[in-house]
């Protein structure tokens, strides 16, 4: 089950379509989603979490808490709506496209993709692009 929570003035449009896409993304990597929670927050809230839980004194667009066992996806993904809006402008893409990229980025982390090294970052970007195409083809 995929659930969405809002701790900021934001409401996800196309939630059903996005949930179906995320489930298909998981299946395409031989995973199954059991319990996935997306929580949309402000920059301030995510910054505080970044300091408290990861000891990182920086703004970020996403923090993922992984509870995956085997190929069963379970996790909490916190997304800063403020950061996504700003990144969309910086990368010259729509807010919707950047939001989908960040959402799938978090799911990819839960499915064992990382982005610590340059090589991992390149693979993550390729996977994000591949999975974004799935959304646009399905809709």
CATH code of the domain containing 109: 3.40.390.30
Instruction: Look at residue 3 and tell me whether its pLDDT is greater than 70.
Output: yes
Average pLDDT over residues 51-64: 91
Predicted pLDDT at 83: 96
Contact 22, 2 (CB under 8 A): yes
Task: Write out pLDDT tens, residues 73-112.
Answer: 999 999 999 999 999 999 999 999 999 999 999 999 999 9
Give the domain range for residue 42.
2-138
> For the chain, how many structural domains are there in total?
1
Contacts by 80-87, CB closer than 8 A, 24 or more apart: 80/41, 80/42, 80/43, 80/45, 80/46, 80/47, 81/8, 81/10, 81/40, 81/41, 81/42, 82/8, 82/42, 82/43, 83/43, 83/46, 83/59, 87/61
Predicted pLDDT at 121: 95
């Amino acid at each position: 089950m995929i659930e969405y929570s809002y701790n900021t003035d934001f409401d996800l449009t196309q939630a059903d379509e996005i949930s179906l896409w995320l489930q298909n993304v998981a299946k395409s990597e031989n995973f199954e989603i059991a319990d996935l929670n997306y929580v949309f927050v402000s920059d301030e809230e995510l910054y505080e979490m970044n300091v408290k839980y990861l000891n990182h004194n920086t703004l970020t667009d996403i923090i993922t808490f992984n509870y995956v066992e085997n190929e069963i996806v379970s996790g909490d993904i916190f997304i800063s709506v403020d950061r996504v809006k700003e990144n969309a402008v910086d990368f010259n893409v729509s807010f919707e496209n950047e939001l989908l990229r960040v959402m799938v980025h978090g799911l990819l982390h839960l499915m064992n993709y990382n982005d610590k090294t340059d090589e991992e970052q390149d693979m993550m970007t390729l996977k994000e692009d591949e999975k974004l195409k799935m959304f646009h083809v399905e809709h």
